[in-house]
Structure 1
Amino acid sequence: MYIIKKVNILRKKITHIKKTNKKIGLIPTMGNLHYGHIKLILSAQKYTDIIIVSIFINPMQFNNSFDLKDYPKTFQEDCMILKKYNVDILFFPNIDDIYSNDIKNHTFVEVPKLSNILEGQSRPGHFRGVTTIVSKLFNLIQPDYSFFGEKDYQQLLIIKTLIKELNYMIKIISIPTVRLKNGLALSSRNNNLSIREIKVAPYLYKIIKKTCKKIITKDNHEIEKVINLSKNLLIKKGFSIDLFNIYDYKTLMTPTKKSKTIILLASAWLGKTRLIDNKKIFFR
């Protein structure tokens, strides 16, 4: 596995790969890799000839400096995982290689309509940071495919919109959320949960599933009541809720009669850890 830290070296490597007509797959990460990332790699092996994983803890997408500082850094362990699964290139740049100027004054890329709602309201500037770094990686690596998990559904939809509207010739492959046996979605942030919180955290998805089952059988005017009851259950379990509601799967707007698929999006704090999850509902 090649470990590349400098942009100019990466460019030379990409130029060489492009001459071979091999398909390139990109998996953008912030490190602290888990089995969810491994599933992305396994998917990339089916579609591509060259797999590139980036590890970059992107300061532009953090609106909390303490959160940025505390984000887990496990470079050596990450390298062992990537080598085990035959990743070809690890791109591991420094901040100065990605942001040559002060981040606050740096050029950015944004999908405004989708970035400033739902999660974007709770985390101002977060998705602007995501789309900026992803655009930079797309420009540098020029992948044929890029791979993302479905746990961060709003992010996934934003990136798909980015590709469409900026005319990138990149195919996005999304991977269903990877979970523990108890239903808890895998996330680097799970490392911040206390022993007590680890036992409580799986209730988020359990209540999401129960809510979705009830929504399928209810009329529209009863859905709000179902959602409020579920919120109360989560609060009793110790969650502080940011978001728990249903939206149109394609637009993230309030569902209408034309919405063939909807999605329940949830984000909630458990102690100092913010958990997000979702589930699609087919009922219209």
Structure 2
Amino acid sequence: MQVFREKDALKQAIRKVKSEGKTLGLVPTMGALHEGHISLVRNALKETDQVVVSIFVNPTQFDNPEDLKKYPRTPEKDLDLLVKEAKDLWVFIPSAYDLYGDKILSERFDFEGLEQVMEGKFRNGHFDGVGTVVKRLFETIEPNKAFFGEKDYQQLQIIRKLTRIKGLDVEIIGCPILREDSGLARSSRNERLSKENRKEAAFIYHTLLKARDLFGTKSVKEITDWVKKSFENHPTLELEYFEIADSETLKKTDQKINGNQYRAFIAAYIDGIRLIDNIALDN
């Protein structure tokens, strides 16, 4: 396994691989790796000849400085996990200066409304930060394919839009959510949960499952009211939002339209730790 800490050295290695006609896959991460990330790496290994895993806690996508400060960082554990998975992986661990230069600032993007709902509504400037760092990674690495988890479904749609509006020649691959035995979506933030809160947080997924069951017979308003009531009655979880939205446009829906596909989205807090999840309602 090769570890690159400067983009110029990585670019040189990439030029050699591409001159040999090999395909390149990218798995962008912020570290604190878990089985969800590893599942992305496995997909990338199956679909491309050389895989790059980037590890970079991107400061421009945090609207809360305290959240950035507390974000888990486990570089040695991350590298151990990756080398066990495949010894020919490349790992890119840049500094903020290497990616951003002297000014750590976001570009401004128009994602045609995708950035203004759900996460964008509650996290000011978040998707400008995501778009900025992903664009820079794509320009540096020039992957043929990039792999993202569906747990951050809104982010996945934002990245797809980014490639279209910026004309970036990379195929975006969405990979299924990997869950713990309890159903809780795997996330780096889970490491901050106590054992008891980790157990309680599975309530988020079970609520989504029930919402999917209700979707066939109940109205959007009835489902939304039921979800809000369920969280109001929960002793430790606090609901930030629950929305049913079009899977493609992410526009919130109040009424189901035949032929459209929908997903349910949740963000909730437990002991000050913010967790998100989603589920397709059409299968």
The bucket for the TM-score relative to the shorter chain is over 0.9
Deviation, 1:186, is: 0.2
Deviates more, 1:107-116 or 1:76-85: 107-116
Match of 1:90 in 2: 91
1:5 aligns with 2:5: yes
**Higher mean C-alpha displacement, 274-283 vs 145-154:** 274-283
Deviations 1:6-54 (A, max 9, x none): 1211121111111111000000000010000110011011110000000
Task: Note if contact 2:115-2:158 (Cα within 8 Å) is conserved in structure 1.
Answer: yes
Q: TM-score, normalised by structure 2?
A: 0.94
Using the TM superposition, name which of 41-50 and 108-117 deviates more.
108-117
The residue that corresponds to 2:243 in the other structure is: 245
Counterparts in 2 of 1:137 and 1:70: CA distance versus 1, 3 Å: same
Aligned counterparts of 1:107 and 1:34: Cα–Cα separation in 2: 29
1:229 equivalent among 226, 229, 247: 226
Q: CA deviation at 1:196?
A: 2.6
Q: Return the letter of the residue paired with 1:233.
A: S
- Map residues 27-66 of structure 1 onto 2, 5 A cutoff: 27-66=27-66
Equivalents in 2 of 1:94, 1:22: separation in Å?
27
User: 2:109 & 2:81 partners in 1: Cα distance?
Assistant: 31
C-alpha distance 89-149 of structure 1, shift in aligned 2 (>3 A): same
Q: 1:110, 1:131 within 8 Å by CA — same for their partners in 2?
A: no
1:209 alignment counterpart: 209
Q: How far apart are the structure 2 equivalents of 1:4 and 1:128?
A: 26
Q: Which residue of 2 aligns with 1:124?
A: 124
Q: Which residue of 2 aligns with 1:113?
A: 113
Distance 1:49 1:127, change over 3 A: same
Q: How does 1:169-188 map to 2 (within 5 A)?
A: 169-188=169-188
Asked whether the 8 Å contact 2:52–2:91 carries over to 1, the reply is: yes
Using the size of structure 1 for normalisation, the TM-score is 0.94
User: % of aligned pairs identical?
Assistant: 37
Structure 1 unaligned residues grouped into runs of 5+: none
2:22 aligns to what SS in structure 1?
coil
For residues 23 and 57 of structure 1, the distance between their equivalents in structure 2, rounded to whole angstroms, comes to 26
Match of 2:252 in 1: 254
Deviation at 1:259, TM superposition (A): 5.0
Instruction: Give 2:100's aligned amino acid.
Output: Y
User: What residue in structure 1 maps to residue 71 of structure 2?
Assistant: 71
1:61-120 Cα distance to aligned partner (Å, 9 max, x none): 01111111111111111111111111521000111111113224x545552521122110
Q: Number of aligned pairs?
A: 279
> Counterpart of 1:226 in structure 2: which amino acid?
I
Gaps of 5+ in 2: none
> Distance in 2 between the 1:259 and 1:134 partners?
32
- Distance in 1 (CA, whole Å) between partners of 2:129 and 2:152 is 15
Tell me the equivalent position of 1:99.
Answer: 100
* Aligned 8 A contact 1:267 1:277 in 2: yes
Contact preservation (8 Å) 1:149, 1:177: yes
CA root-mean-square deviation? 1.5
- Counterpart-to-counterpart distance in 2, 1:197 and 1:65: 23
Secondary structure of the equivalent of 1:32?
coil
Instruction: Label 1:167 to 1:258 Cα distance change in 2 as closer, same or farther (>3 A).
Output: farther
| 1:30 and 1:54 in contact (8 A); partners too | yes
Amino acid at match of 1:61: Q
| Cα distance between partner residues in 1 of 2:29 and 2:149 | 11
Q: Moved runs in structure 1, 4+ residues, more than 3 A?
A: 106-110
Task: Find the aligned partners of 1:189 and 1:236 in 2 and give their Cα distance.
Answer: 24
Distance 1:97 1:6 in 2: 7
Aligned-partner Cα distance in 1 for 2:62–2:93: 19
Alpha-carbon distance in 2 for matches of 1:259, 1:252: 15
Matches for 1:253-272 after TM superposition, within 5 Å: 253-255=251-253, 257=257, 259-272=259-272
The answer to whether the 8 Å contact 1:245/1:266 transfers is yes
Q: Give CA deviations for 1:118-163 in whole Å, capped at 9, x if unaligned.
A: 1101001111111110000000000000000000110000001111
Q: Give the counterpart letter for 2:246 in structure 1.
A: D
In the alignment, the residues of structure 2 paired with residue 107 and residue 128 of structure 1 have an alpha-carbon distance, to the nearest angstrom, of 6
1:187 is displaced (CA, Å) by 0.2
Letter aligned with residue 6 of structure 1: E
